[in-house]
Structures are given as structure tokens and as C-alpha cells.
Homo-oligomer: A and B are copies of this chain.
Amino acid sequence: VRVGILGATGYTGQELVRLLRRHPDVDLTYLGSSSMMGHSYQEIYPNRVEENGILAAEAVPELDVLFCALPHGITASRGPELLGKVSHLIDLGADFRLRSVMDYESWYGIKHPEPELLLSAVYGLPELYREDIQGHRLVANPGCYPTATLLALTPLLRASLLEPDSIIIDAKSGVSGAGRGLSAGTHYAEVNENIKAYGVGEHRHTPEIEQELTRAAGRRVTVNFTPHLVPMTRGILVTIYADVTEGVEEQELRAEWWKAYKDEEFINLLPVGTWPQTKFAYGSNQVFLQMKLDPRTKRIIIVAVLDNLIKGAAGQAIQNMNILAGLPEGKGLGGGGLWP
């Protein structure tokens, strides 16, 4: 598979480089960067020893798959041009995740430059929409918080085991999710030994979560989603609360997870009583899930963890590439993460 990356120097871009360079069926031939054109990759990342290439201008060559890891708005505006050059485009940004132009424009605060492309894109969450993804030219790679949330909830909503109006998602993320851009909010001395909520009621992953939960529930779902910044680099943990449908037992909920995920290479249902930790997924494409039905409040408490840069970004994008290229979906992504 002839592959390229636009935005190869961001955190997601360099994670793609790392993973693609050890993928046995990939020929990574194009690294595009608007700001670092002409520089060698190792000038920017001396530690990325597997990559000897030079950063190229943004004129994209012909490719089987192009990964776009650019700020929102940019990929969309170049969409038609890029699709004229490459067979498949996997966007790791937010430009094609929402099907509603109105939602995009109200949550992202800009006009969508190519609204008609929204309809031709597929939401690339392989464990839920594997069949849809095949054959699409334009894949919207999900956000990190939505990936964790949707994997936890979709099978349960599809089976009508939860009250859709009761869903509360309290999420905790490492700081790498904020990218390489400098800000007071990612300044070491003000993040270390500190935890804070941010974007309360306003985070842009909210409409993405609601869109897909609505699809699963077959009715409009509105959620509370509160992300928190935790003093660590990688990892997302989401704690989800929901009322179960009258009379539903924990065992029924577990059974739906089992049906959905028992053959999945990257989804791990932990034994009862073992709660996920973000470090379980550190440096891997794995997701770990656990739940408990509180008998006193009849609410289910679910915890899901993943590595925001891998299953929450670059790893999932490569899963999508593998699907598009007809390769085994987990190719190049196997195994567990680093411990400790």
C-alpha cells in the first residue's frame, strides 16, 4: 500500500510515522508539512530513528491512502483536490465526522467549506461500522473521547438496555490530546500536580458522540459530556453513568458486550471486579472495558480506557487503512502496551 501523511510533524502525525514504518505491507512515501518543508524528519524528531525522510511540500502525489492530520477546516477545504489524487483519504481531524452541516458550523464556529463531502464520508469506527467502511473513499476517523464512549455504549443502546436521556460521560484525558501547540493550559508548571475540568458543556466531541448514540438508540440522544485534564501525557479514561431500562440486570448488559466484542482483537472485557487503568492501554491499540450495575440506584457505571494517540487516533486510522486495503484489520497494530 502506497501511503502518505499530511501534517506529519504533529503528535498524531509522528505516531502514524512510527506505526506505519513497522507495518509490513506499507510503503510510506510522502510526509507533508506546511511549516517544515525541506527539513529532515530527524531534525524535528531526533528520536524517530525509523524515519530518514525529508518533509515535502503540501502537493500530494498519487497514493493509495493519504492520512490527514491537520487542524479542522483545512482538510475539508482541500478535500476535492486531495480526492483527485489519492484513492482513499483518512481524515484524523474533525471535518467529516458530523453528518449535519449545521452541527459542524455551530460547534466548530466556521462555515464548512465542502458540505457535500460530509455525505460521502463514513464514520470510521471499525468495531461498529466495519462493513460500511469498506469501499468508502473518504473516512472520518473518530475522535478519542467518542471512540471510548461509543465502544462502551453502542451495543447497550442498540439492545435498548439503557435510558437514552440519562447518559452522563465524565472523561479524563492526558495532555497530549491537546497537541503540540503551546498554551498556558499545557504549560508544565500549571498542569503538573493539578486536575481541572475544561470545555464544560461545550466540548466539540459532544455532537459527535450524540450523533452516533442517536444512531444506536434509534432516537435523539443528548448527553452531558465533561472532559478533564489529568497530569499525564497519554491515555483517556471515560466514566459513564446511565439508568438502565426498568428491570435490566448487569448480566444482560455484559451479554451484549460479549456478543459485540468477543472476537475483537482490540476490545478487552475485563473480569468482573478488575477496573481498567489508562496504563493498560499505554502505547497500544487496545481498549479495556468494565461495568457495574449499582443495585441501590439502578444506574450502570462503565469505565473505558484507551491510548488517545493510538486507538484514539493513529492506530484506529491504520485499522481503517487495513480495511480499505483488504489487509487483516489488526496488521501492524498487535500486542499490548508498555508497563509500567
Residues of A with Cβ closer than 8 Å to B?
11, 14-15, 18, 21-22, 45-51, 165, 168, 170, 172, 174-176, 178, 180, 182-184, 186-198, 200-201, 222-224, 226, 228, 230-235, 237, 239, 241, 268, 270-271, 274-284, 286, 288, 292, 294, 296-297, 299, 301, 303, 334-340
Contact = CB atoms under 8 A, between A and B. Distances in A.
Q: How many copies does the complex hold?
A: 4
A191 B339 CA distance: 11
A285 B206 CA distance: 35
A191 B292 CA distance: 23
B188 A175 contact: yes
Given A47-B337, A277-B196, A339-B47, A186 B188 contact: yes
Contacts of A278: 193-196
Given A182-B184, A190-B279, A197-B303, 9 more contacts: A15-B339, A48-B336, A49-B336, A51-B336, A170-B241, A175-B189, A189-B233, A192-B232, A198-B275
A3 to B, nearest CB: 17
B276 A201 contact: no
B189 A187 contact: no
B187 A187 contact: yes
